[in-house]
Amino acid sequence: MAIATPAANAAPAAPAATHEMTDGFHLVIEALKLNGIDTVFGLPGIPITDLTRMLQASGIRVISFRHEQNAGYAASIAGFLTQKPGICLTVSAPGFLNGLTALAHATTNCFPMILVSGSSEREIVDLQQGDYEEMDQLAIAKPLCKAAFRVLHAEDIGVGVARAIRAAVSGRPGGVYLDLPAKLFSQAIEAAAGRNSLIKVVDAAPRQIPSQDSVKRAVELLRGAKKPLIVLGKGAAYAQADADIRTLVEKTGIPYLPMSMAKGLLPDTHEQSASAARSFVLPEADVVMLVGARLNWLLSHGKGKTWGGKDHKSWGGQKFVQVDISPQEADSNVRIDAPVVGDIGSCVAALLKEIGAGWQKPPAEWTGAIAERKDKNIAKMAETLAKDPVPMNFQSALNVVRDLVKANPDAILVNEGANALDFTRSIVDMYKPRKRIDVGTWGIMGIGMGYCVAAAVTTKQQVIAVEGDSAFGFSGMEVETICRYDLPVCIVIMNNNGVYKGTDVDPTGRDPAPTVFVKNARYDKIMDAFGGVGVNAATPAELRKAMEEAIRSRKPTLINAVIDETAGTESGRITNLNPAAAKKK
């Protein structure tokens, strides 16, 4: 009898116990999902193409842009609007660098955002052997963000994502960089171990309660004021403590000034709003309470002529209360007599409690003097808005936008440009919190279309963008993104043929001047290319009709508003910051 060979007769050897496996791709997605991330803004390519597909397949919404900078701006403002970190996903080196401006912008503006970038082989990058898209991204990101992390092992993905989320939203929010090398994505580990390694972040942005002493000190200072003023910053808007902030303003009766992105925290038509008397209240006030507003250039550093100081650097004599999340903010520019450190919601609640009942409202001389200036300025503005010049100027066009925002108070207004920004800020009243988003701390051009996409995607509301023609150019290609996702965005381009105005000429006669563009350009035709609605509007009536139709239909719309090319001023309202040559020729 032949000896049966085991190979021929034996039952196949029992397979080694099969372990369910997972990999870096899946762990990144699960870590994000576990922490409530439902949207990612990005642009695919090596090594994250499959990640974008798998994210989408997992149910996370992936909004794919034409340039990473715009995806980054979208993520940054999604962070501002939702208090969750906005996620921007990019490829290595060039994609990462394209996203980096937005990351720095998020940090400067205190918006929670995480830039997640794929990166190349560490071993090759570190030996500088010339890898595909070689760059030490972690080192480059570090000085531009609040925190930067790299994950090398699949089992550390949970920790990496958790740390990035905490860093982005806790304390003063900001931009965080998360570096994910290509090799990480396909690293396989046992699924059970993978699941156990993930972290659901508990209390990512813990309340920070102000000390009782600091609250008492602040309220005492306010109580003794003859000419008090409250300044609301975008930190106050971010905090989502809208009802308490309104109660604080109304209960104390103190006039208030909203910074640009705090407009609408209380309706701009509120009788205590001192916006129309800004140049009167800043130098005149004796005690100023800053709520989530920093004394940076936007508030002339709290000193100088704006504040009644003798020259551009001297203190105007005001005492300041500063309510801020960061213990390092006070005294950054002038002395802060009463810092109140904590999250805005907790601070405002504590202030309200300390104020209690029986608060003496500010003297009538103060509020009366403000009302007088306000009424005069508002009447002057009404006169200007009523004019109907040909061609349109900023005021006659924005009078239409003003009406439409009033009729649609839930719409989100995106705004960038120089004159297009300044005129819109002062003419278009806002009625609800976090409805105005703009160039922020840096006065940055290019946020426009990214903000439009993020605002429409995260809030589902109608978006109206008022764009300078130069400003629009920085992100104009994203109108394709707006059409592709069929977003309810109505873009109004204030087309004055250039940067600030369209009238400059090259003294040598060779080229167009650096500030001017093609005359009478038809930006509306860009929209036609992608199936959106493009309208050329030469009169306020045409502009009104087109905007009404856009809002009614919720179709992606771009209106080219033809503005007098002589209408703007150099640098809008910050001409004083523009160095002029001492030697003229």
- Kindly list the residues in this chain that would bind ligand TPP in the complex (CB under 6 A): 417-420, 443-446, 468-471, 494, 496, 499-500, 568, 572
H or E element at residue 340 = strand 338-341
In the complex with ligand TPP, the residue whose CB is nearer, 188 or 505, is: 505
* Residue 418 binding result from ligand TPP, Mg ion, none, given CB thresholds of 5 to 8 Å by partner type: ligand TPP
Number of residues in contact with Mg ion, rule: CB under 5 A?
A: 3
In the complex with ligand TPP, the residue whose CB is nearer, 42 or 572, is: 572
Query: Is 137 in contact with 93 (CB distance < 8 Å)?
Result: yes
> Per CB under 5 A, does 415 bind Mg ion?
no
> Per CB under 5 A, does 469 bind Mg ion?
yes
In the complex with ligand TPP, the residue whose CB is nearer, 101 or 240, is: 101
Q: Hunting for tokens 């800004």 — which residue is that?
A: 278
Between CA 325 and CA 494, with CA 78 as vertex, the angle to 5 degrees is 110
Smallest distance from the beta carbon of 527 to ligand TPP, in angstroms?
18
In the complex with ligand TPP, the residue whose CB is nearer, 451 or 500, is: 500
Smallest distance from the beta carbon of 517 to Mg ion, in angstroms?
8
* Residue 462 binding result from ligand TPP, Mg ion, none, given CB thresholds of 5 to 8 Å by partner type: none
What are residue 22's DSSP bridge partners?
A: 189
Smallest distance from the beta carbon of 361 to ligand TPP, in angstroms?
40
Identify which range of 161-169, 251-259, 322-330, 463-471 contacts Mg ion by CB under 5 A: 463-471
Give the span between the Cα atoms of 236 and 79, in whole angstroms: 15
In the complex with ligand TPP, the residue whose CB is nearer, 446 or 540, is: 446
In the complex with ligand TPP, the residue whose CB is nearer, 46 or 521, is: 521
Smallest distance from the beta carbon of 25 to ligand TPP, in angstroms?
34
Give the span between the Cα atoms of 55 and 65, in whole angstroms: 15
* Residue 170 binding result from Mg ion, ligand TPP, none, given CB thresholds of 5 to 8 Å by partner type: none
* Residue 445 binding result from Mg ion, ligand TPP, none, given CB thresholds of 5 to 8 Å by partner type: ligand TPP
Query: Is 402 in contact with 385 (CB distance < 8 Å)?
Result: yes
Give the span between the Cα atoms of 547 and 408, in whole angstroms: 11
Give the span between the Cα atoms of 91 and 433, in whole angstroms: 35
Smallest distance from the beta carbon of 117 to ligand TPP, in angstroms?
21
Query: Is 112 in contact with 106 (CB distance < 8 Å)?
Result: yes
Give the span between the Cα atoms of 73 and 76, in whole angstroms: 5
Smallest distance from the beta carbon of 500 to ligand TPP, in angstroms?
4
* Residue 572 binding result from ligand TPP, Mg ion, none, given CB thresholds of 5 to 8 Å by partner type: ligand TPP
> Per CB under 5 A, does 468 bind Mg ion?
yes
Q: Determine the residue type at 175.
A: G
Q: What value does the CA radius of gyration of the chain take, rounded to a whole number of Å?
A: 27
* Residue 471 binding result from ligand TPP, Mg ion, none, given CB thresholds of 5 to 8 Å by partner type: ligand TPP
* Residue 149 binding result from ligand TPP, Mg ion, none, given CB thresholds of 5 to 8 Å by partner type: none
Span between the terminal Cα atoms of the chain, in Å: 113
Query: Is 525 in contact with 536 (CB distance < 8 Å)?
Result: no
Give the span between the Cα atoms of 95 and 102, in whole angstroms: 12
Smallest distance from the beta carbon of 250 to ligand TPP, in angstroms?
35
Smallest distance from the beta carbon of 476 to ligand TPP, in angstroms?
11
Beta carbons within 10 angstroms of residue 383's beta carbon = 9
Query: Is 472 in contact with 523 (CB distance < 8 Å)?
Result: yes
Identify which range of 74-82, 91-99, 374-382, 464-472 contacts Mg ion by CB under 5 A: 464-472
- Residue 91 tokens read as 């490829």
Identify which range of 293-301, 403-411, 465-473, 570-578 contacts Mg ion by CB under 5 A: 465-473
Q: Determine the residue type at 151.
A: V
Which residue's Cβ lies closest to ligand TPP? 468
Query: Strand 188-190 relative to strand 21-23: parallel, antiparallel, unpaired?
Result: antiparallel
Smallest distance from the beta carbon of 169 to ligand TPP, in angstroms?
26
Smallest distance from the beta carbon of 448 to ligand TPP, in angstroms?
9
Smallest distance from the beta carbon of 514 to ligand TPP, in angstroms?
10
Chain-centroid distance, C-alpha 27 = 29
User: Is omega for the bond preceding 47 within 30 degrees of 0, making it cis?
Assistant: yes
* Residue 408 binding result from ligand TPP, Mg ion, none, given CB thresholds of 5 to 8 Å by partner type: none
In the complex with Mg ion, the residue whose CB is nearer, 46 or 521, is: 521
> Per CB under 5 A, does 324 bind Mg ion?
no
Phi and psi angles of residue 443, each rounded to the nearest 5 degrees, phi first: 60, 50
In the complex with ligand TPP, the residue whose CB is nearer, 284 or 564, is: 564
In the complex with ligand TPP, the residue whose CB is nearer, 247 or 503, is: 503
* Residue 444 binding result from ligand TPP, Mg ion, none, given CB thresholds of 5 to 8 Å by partner type: ligand TPP
* Residue 288 binding result from ligand TPP, Mg ion, none, given CB thresholds of 5 to 8 Å by partner type: none
Smallest distance from the beta carbon of 421 to Mg ion, in angstroms?
10
In the complex with Mg ion, the residue whose CB is nearer, 469 or 564, is: 469
> What part of residues 476-535 is at the interface with Mg ion (CB under 5 A)?
496
Between CA 499 and CA 503, with CA 501 as vertex, the angle to 5 degrees is 115
Give the span between the Cα atoms of 270 and 251, in whole angstroms: 14
- Return the beta strands (E) in 24-173 as ranges: 39-42, 61-64, 86-90, 113-119, 147-150
In the complex with ligand TPP, the residue whose CB is nearer, 302 or 476, is: 476
Q: Hunting for tokens 């349109």 — which residue is that?
A: 392
Phi and psi angles of residue 351, each rounded to the nearest 5 degrees, phi first: -65, -45
Smallest distance from the beta carbon of 138 to ligand TPP, in angstroms?
25
Chain-centroid distance, C-alpha 282 = 26
H or E element at residue 179 = strand 175-181
Phi and psi angles of residue 557, each rounded to the nearest 5 degrees, phi first: -135, 140
Binding residues vs Mg ion (CB under 5 A): 468-469, 496
